[in-house]
């Protein structure tokens, strides 16, 4: 019989970057006297924060995983399993491993821990971390392009990923599946939720519908590729953020040994990974890799999309949120936009999505995102979300984390109590 995995809790550092009040850059009053947290400091803050928040002693942790995409490029630092072991004397010499799946690295770290719990581990540590503000957005665009098929796709634009999703906006618009107002609705929702979230990168930036729906100096269409430029604006994009998150995942025996019960934790009903073909692309109108992971998650959990009461989905760009609604079965193909038009995914809607702001509003330190998503669902279930807490605490939630343009997907389903 398969063993059950539980999430006991964890810690998310503030996600920061340009336009966040605490982010140091050349016009900040603290410039020259204070610096932004490094990769090392962020990993440590997340790990020690998770141990403290859950009351789990470091000595009880048996194994750990860290998701990180390109620490070598942004921070000249790889070998991050050993960085986790370096966070506390009692973690030293424990098995600690880094996993990488582009922007799904955090989700893969979580999936690795869940598999390990099912195979016999009792207490696991999961970390996700990325620092991206050490380079300009343009240079960072080149680093992040390593998540595409670089040889074939890097030339699309200096900002490769924004261009890849501009392509999807163009195709989805031409097929009549979305219009500019739908994308604006997704962006306005993300910023409005982030404005209620003290951990969010865009907590102090507002986005109104008129600004989001048209290109302007405040909301530029910034791509160099003339064919794709009209289709994507800054308001459609996730942020270049720094941040980390860490969670403690345990078995039932682990809970008992820590003096807890399943009622103190959130059960992992499913955690499924799918990988697409890096070298050839599917059509622009769907996300079959995410759908494959989701289908397996529905089968493993015995649930259906209508059972989900809260969700975190990978809105690296506004169009991705809409495509995810369809891949996850929240809407029929071509009708993801209806959930935004009806307000179904707002905080007061029937299936709130990305309650803390998602990747557009909360921010997207890429390796951290998948772990942050899990903790956000857990925090909603525990009533810990402050100004963006849902009126009724959800009992069943879903996370969908994506690497590349639908090339790695991790879909998890969680249930409280």
CA angle 192, 194, 198 (to 5 degrees): 135
Q: 51: which 2 tokens?
A: 């141990």
Among 363, 404, 411, 414, binds ligand CAA (CB under 6 A): 404
Q: What is the secondary structure of 89-156 as a DSSP string?
A: GGGTTS-EEEE-BTBTHHHHHHHHHHHHHHHT-SEEEEEEEE--TTS-HHHHHHHHGGGS-HHHHGGG
Identity of the residue, 147 or 322, whose beta carbon is nearer to ligand CAA in the bound complex: 147
Strand partners, 123: 250
How far apart CA 310 and CA 317 sit, in angstroms, is 20
Token code pair at residue 133 = 């503000």
Q: In the set 195, 276, 403, 415, which binds ligand CAA (CB under 6 A)?
A: 403
| Closer residue to ligand CAA (CB): 193 or 408 | 408
Please state, in angstroms and rounded to a whole number, the distance separating the CA atoms of residues 100 and 104. 8
Spell out the residues 6+ positions from residue 245 whose beta carbon is closer than 8 angstroms to its own: 10, 11, 12, 13, 46, 106, 127, 128, 129, 368, 371, 372, 375
Closest CA to 327 of 356, 358, 274, 289: 289
Question: Nearest 10 degrees: CA dihedral of 257, 117, 324, 276?
Answer: 160
Footprint of ligand CAA on 88-107 (CB under 6 A): 102-103
Using CB under 6 A as the binding criterion, the count of chain residues that bind ligand CAA stands at 26
CB of residue 215 to ligand CAA, shortest distance in Å:
9
Euclidean distance between CA atoms 138 and 125, whole angstroms? 34
Closest alpha carbon to 122 in 246, 255, 10: 255
Subset of residues 107 to 146 that bind ligand CAA, contact rule: CB under 6 A: 136-138, 141, 144
Among 15, 65, 74, 159, binds ligand CAA (CB under 6 A): 159
- Residue 316 as a binder of ligand CAA (CB under 6 A): the answer is yes
Cα–chain-centroid distance for residue 353?
12
Judged by beta carbon, residue 36 or residue 54, the one nearer ligand CAA is 36
Alpha-carbon gap, residue 392 to 410, rounded angstroms:
26
Which lies closer to ligand CAA via its Cβ, residue 50 or residue 164? 164
Binding mask 202-221 for ligand CAA (x = CB under 6 A): ---------------x--x-
Q: Rule CB under 6 A: is residue 278 a binding residue for ligand CAA?
A: no
Q: How many residues does the chain have?
A: 417
Which residue numbers are catalytic?
103, 364
**Strand-pair category, 243-250 with 266-275:** unpaired
Instruction: Tell me: does residue 70 bind ligand CAA (CB under 6 A).
Output: no
Residue 220 or residue 343: which is nearer to ligand CAA going by CB? Answer: 220
Q: How far apart are CA 127 and CA 245, in angstroms?
A: 6
For ligand CAA, the closer of residues 91 and 240 by Cβ is: 240
Question: Which one, 6 or 23, has the nearer CB to ligand CAA?
Answer: 23
Q: Per-residue contact track with ligand CAA, 336 to 375, x per CB under 6 A? A: ----------------------------x-x---------
Choices 6-14, 263-271, 389-397, 401-409 (CB under 6 A): range interacting with ligand CAA? 401-409
Shortest distance (Å) from residue 353 CB to ligand CAA:
16
Write down the least CB distance from residue 185 to ligand CAA, Å.
Answer: 19
Q: Return residues touching ligand CAA (CB under 6 A).
A: 18, 102-103, 136-138, 141, 144, 147, 159, 161-162, 217, 220, 222, 234, 237-240, 316, 364, 366, 402-404
């Amino acid at each position: 019989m398969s063993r059950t995995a539980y999430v006991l809790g964890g810690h998310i550092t503030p996600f920061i970057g340009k336009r966040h009040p605490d982010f140091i850059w050349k016009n900040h009053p603290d410039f020259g006297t204070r610096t932004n947290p490094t990769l090392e400091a962020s990993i440590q803050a997340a790990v020690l924060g998770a141990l403290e928040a859950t009351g789990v002693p470091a000595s009880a942790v048996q194994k750990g995983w860290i998701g990180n995409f390109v620490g070598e490029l942004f921070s000249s630092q790889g070998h991050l399993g050993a960085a986790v072991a370096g966070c506390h004397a009692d973690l030293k010499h424990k098995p600690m491993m880094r996993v990488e799946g582009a922007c799904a690295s955090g989700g893969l770290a979580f999936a690795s821990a869940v598999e390990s719990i099912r195979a016999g581990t009792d207490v696991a540590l999961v970390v996700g971390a990325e620092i991206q503000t050490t380079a300009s957005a343009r240079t960072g665009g080149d680093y992040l392009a390593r998540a595409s098929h670089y040889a074939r796709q890097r030339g699309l634009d200096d900002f490769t990923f924004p261009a890849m999703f501009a392509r999807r906006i163009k195709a989805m618009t031409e097929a009549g599946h979305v219009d500019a107002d739908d994308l604006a609705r997704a962006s306005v929702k993300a910023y409005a939720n982030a404005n209620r979230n003290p951990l969010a990168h865009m907590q102090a930036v507002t986005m109104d519908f008129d600004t989001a729906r048209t290109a302007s100096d405040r909301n530029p269409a910034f791509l160099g590729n003339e064919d794709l430029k009209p289709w994507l604006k800054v308001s459609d994009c996730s942020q270049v953020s720094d941040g980390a998150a860490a969670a403690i995942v345990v078995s039932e025996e682990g809970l008992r040994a820590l003096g807890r019960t399943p009622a103190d934790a959130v059960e992992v009903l499913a955690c499924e990974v799918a990988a697409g073909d890096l070298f050839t692309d599917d059509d622009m109108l769907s996300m079959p890799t995410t759908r494959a992971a989701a289908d397996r998650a529905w089968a493993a959990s015995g649930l259906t999309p209508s059972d989900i009461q809260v969700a975190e989905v990978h809105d690296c760009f506004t169009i991705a949120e809409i495509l995810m609604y369809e891949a996850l079965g929240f809407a029929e193909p071509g009708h993801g936009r209806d959930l935004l038009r009806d307000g179904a995914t707002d905080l007061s809607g029937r299936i709130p999505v990305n309650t803390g702001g998602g990747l557009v509003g909360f921010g997207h330190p890429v390796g951290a995102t998948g772990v942050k998503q899990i903790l956000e669902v857990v925090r909603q279930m525990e009533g810990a979300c402050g100004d963006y807490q849902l009126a009724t605490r959800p009992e069943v939630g879903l996370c969908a984390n994506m690497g590349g343009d639908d090339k790695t997907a991790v879909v998890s389903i969680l249930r409280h109590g």
